[in-house]
Amino acid sequence: MRPTVHDIADKAGVSLATVDRVLNDRPGVRGVTRARVEAAIAALGYVRDVAAANLAKGRVYPLVFILPEGDNPFMRGLEAEVRRAGLHSAAERTRLSVATVPAFDAAALAKAIDAAIAGDVSGIAAVAVDAPEVSDAIARAHAAGIPVVTLVSDLAGSGRDHFVGVDNIAAGRTAGSLMGRFLGGRPGPVAVLAGSMRVRDHGERLEGFLAAMSAMPQARAILPVLEGQDDPELSFSLIADCLAKVPDLAGIYSLGAGNRGLIAALSAGGRGDLCVIVHELTGETRAALESGVVDAVLNQDAGHEVRSAIRVLRAKADGLPVNAAQERIRLDIFIKDNLPADPDEEN
């Protein structure tokens, strides 16, 4: 049987009120009495149920999600999921808010983390940019006792508390395996469209993709990475230029969110002969998959990621363990034949 506060009071020879003051680190307890209570706690092996204590106090958790702004359908989907979760936040004892910063702007992200610290939040979830100033900001959050979860793109060396997202190296390997198998013995190089190599998820996806492609029986050139900054117009220009300069292009891997520009360039160039693999199932990539412009979409569930980040931040704020199996984010592979129902058509 687990020891209780009554057991502590009996063993230490003090009142329940004194035990409560010690457990909650409140004043009004003499040093010798506090030491006697702490010794009883240690001897009994008492483990405090922090979550239950916070529930009894009616504690509310203010959590902030820091997301890139701009025309990125997946990030806007994440924002919508945060706001949807916020509709039920009172029942979950959370108060959710969203802050947006320019995409790939490390200084702006660090400033937003500092603003969250100053706002005395209970937890921060942020799409990380791989830069020293972001790591420093995360360290400041830790010093303030605020847990930080990296979302979608990790920053493993920063001391963040948890990463919520898919295994991006595995995602890149999956894209490379699909590309190699779809192309078979067809000759020609492959282009890679990224947003920015300053975010860890894009770098990891590229790493996995190159490893899988190099293991294929057919040797194939991979062109230098095109960085479209997840901007549709820039991505369109980069892909249109590539199509014009590389007439024997065999495939394109879009590992970021420049898919609107990519699809527009392919349609304008009449290039339905390429093998095209992209990330994230949106209205645009769904239509391109159905029309045959895109061959495969690798997808992660934005709703699951938001719910996972909320659970992890609450657990960290209470000092409780994280259920790793529950928080594992699955990578889905969609081709034309296994597309799920369109939620917009169902509503």
Residue 108 confidence (pLDDT): 98
For residue range 209-243, list pLDDT tens digits in order. 999 999 999 999 999 999 999 999 999 999 999 99
Amino acid at 127: V
For residue range 45-60, list pLDDT tens digits in order. 876 655 555 555 557 8
Residue 5 confidence (pLDDT): 78
Contacts of 181 (CB under 8 A, 6+ apart): none
Cβ neighbours around 32 below 10 Å, total? 7
Q: What's the pTM?
A: 0.82
- Which segments within 13-77 are labelled E, that is strand? 61-68
For residue range 130-167, list pLDDT tens digits in order. 999 999 999 999 999 999 999 999 998 899 999 999 99
Asked whether the predicted pLDDT for residue 31 surpasses 90, the reply is no
Residue 114 confidence (pLDDT): 98
Asked whether the predicted pLDDT for residue 176 surpasses 60, the reply is yes
Inter-residue contact 11 to 44 (CB < 8 Å): yes
**CA atoms of 304 and 308, how far apart (whole Å):** 6
For residue range 293-314, list pLDDT tens digits in order. 999 999 999 999 999 999 999 8
